[in-house]
Amino acid sequence: MHCGMCLPTCPTYDETKLERHSPRGRISLMRAIADGELEVTKAFGEEMYYCLGCLACTTACPAGVDYPNLFETARAEIERRGVLDHPKRDFIRWSVVRVLFTRPRLLRLVGRLLWLWQASGGQWLFRRLGLNALLPANLRRLEPQSPKICTKFSHQLIRPVETPRVVRRRVAVLTGCVQDLAFSDINRATVDVLLANDCEVHTPPVQPCCGSLHAHNGDLESARLLARRQLDLFNPADFDAIISNANGCGSHLRAYGHLLHDDPVYAERAAEWSRKLRDIHEYLVEIGFRAPRAPAATSACAGDGCSVTYHESCHLCHGQKVSAQPRAVLRSLPGVEVRECAEAQWCCGSAGIYNITQPDTAARLQDRKVGHVLATGADVVATANPGCHLQLENGMKAAGREGAMQVRHPIALLAEAYRNEAAAD
């Protein structure tokens, strides 16, 4: 395809106006390599990693070009050829991608150490004394953006099986990695909302990473390994639906059928998994969820009413084509006014680890997003992805507007409303 309808939707093309930084330009480079006209080079590798992977181009494309598959295949070939190899990069990829995020118990141990560092006052003292100035430049920039780790992780808040008084459906809930450590309260809220809608909820206490980090960074071998581990843990035939509440994960989880399509043992199960994978908002609308009778009385929404704006995470609206359903959840909340945000579907710059690998472009996208969000004057900005959540909070802090607006998951607001309803009864 050469129509270029994707160009105005591409954040990196919008930044530079260079053809090679557009989906059309990147596909042309991939095609040239596939046809033997170009070699896989360092420049090609850097271009593919300059792409956010936000998938806005897939929404704009009239021909339905499968850019996500092209994108991940190109990155896998870059890693196979080793054109970006460097001792520092190789060590970080090995220690983080191949070790830390393939071992959930090790990840929780690291999370617990981070929590201890924060809860003990060590982080506060470290910053107060200005010791972060001694860190290398990259770490010095990233340290203030580190997420606050929850006191309790998902397995400490959620029993393996929770059953409502009336059971109409049986579902499994995926707790994620960052979501498990920094947003376990959202996982608890997800279970509460499903229970309130007559779903028996199964949440195994130790769950592997979904593999999205690996697939998006060219490590398809590890992505397939982690997909098999998920399928060993959850038999999709046992459930009416498999629920994800973290959008970057959900987009990848839907692709298990493609990822393992030629696996003689797992292909059929993976296809069934993809058929049953649902985003939590999508599933609630699908089953006709019950609107709460009480408002979600957060500290930002006290008084006569509350205004909420909604930032759409890229992998929910573009990757999973789920856009109206989160708004339906927000509009179901009594006393809530939903205010539309300009460029709600435009990437915030988080994009997995993009704000780490491409900090300058990510920061410009962050500023653009925060400006639009604050312009709504809403009390709360709702978003359904942990990366977006942190990017918005850190962006407001960088803009000197920390505390100007709460960042909440739509499902957390719905769970609050259900709890307030039960308390009133």
CB 254 within 8 A of CB 277: yes
Say if domain 154-287 classifies as CATH 3.30.70.
no
**Predicted pLDDT at 301:** 59
Q: Say which residues have a Cβ less than 8 Å from residue 97's Cβ, sequence separation at least 6.
A: 213, 214, 217, 219, 222
Measured at the alpha carbon of residue 384, what is the angle toward residues 379 and 388, in degrees to the nearest 5? 80
**Predicted pLDDT at 141:** 82
CB 247 within 8 A of CB 385: yes
**Predicted pLDDT at 298:** 60
Nearest to 322 by CA among 296, 345, 338: 345
**Predicted pLDDT at 85:** 94
> Which tens digits make up the pLDDT trace of 11-70?
999 999 999 999 999 999 999 999 999 999 999 999 999 999 999 999 999 998 999 999
Q: Classify residue 86 by burial, with Cβ atoms within 10 Å: 0-12, 13-18, 19+.
A: exposed
CB 404 within 8 A of CB 307: no
Taking the CA atoms of 288, 254, 146 and 108 in sequence, report the sign of the dihedral they define. positive
The Cα 218–Cα 221 span in angstroms is: 9
What residue spans in the chain does CATH classification 3.40.50 cover?
154-287, 299-424
**Predicted pLDDT at 4:** 87
Q: Give the chain's length.
A: 425
List strand residue ranges (DSSP E) for 351-405, in order: 380-382
**Predicted pLDDT at 146:** 85
> Which tens digits make up the pLDDT trace of 84-115?
999 999 999 999 999 999 999 999 999 999 99
252 to each of 194, 223, 256, how far by Cα in Å?
22, 10, 7
> Which tens digits make up the pLDDT trace of 58-82?
999 999 899 999 999 999 999 999 9
**Predicted pLDDT at 304:** 60
**Predicted pLDDT at 363:** 93
The Cα 53–Cα 68 span in angstroms is: 7
CB 351 within 8 A of CB 54: yes
**Predicted pLDDT at 87:** 94
Q: State the fold for domain 299-424.
A: Rossmann fold (3.40.50)
pTM: 0.93
* Conformation bin of residue 170: beta by default, left when phi > 0, alpha when psi is -120 to 50: beta
Q: Classify residue 328 by burial, with Cβ atoms within 10 Å: 0-12, 13-18, 19+.
A: middle
pLDDT tens across the length of the chain (425 residues): 688 899 999 999 999 999 999 999 999 999 999 999 999 999 999 999 999 999 999 999 999 899 999 999 999 999 999 999 999 999 999 999 999 999 999 999 999 999 999 999 999 999 889 888 888 887 788 888 889 999 999 999 999 999 999 999 999 999 999 999 999 999 999 999 999 999 999 999 999 999 999 999 999 999 999 999 999 999 999 999 999 999 989 999 999 999 999 999 999 999 999 999 999 999 999 999 999 987 766 655 554 678 999 999 999 999 999 999 999 999 999 989 999 999 999 999 999 889 888 999 999 999 999 999 999 999 999 999 999 999 999 999 988 888 778 999 999 999 999 998 877 76
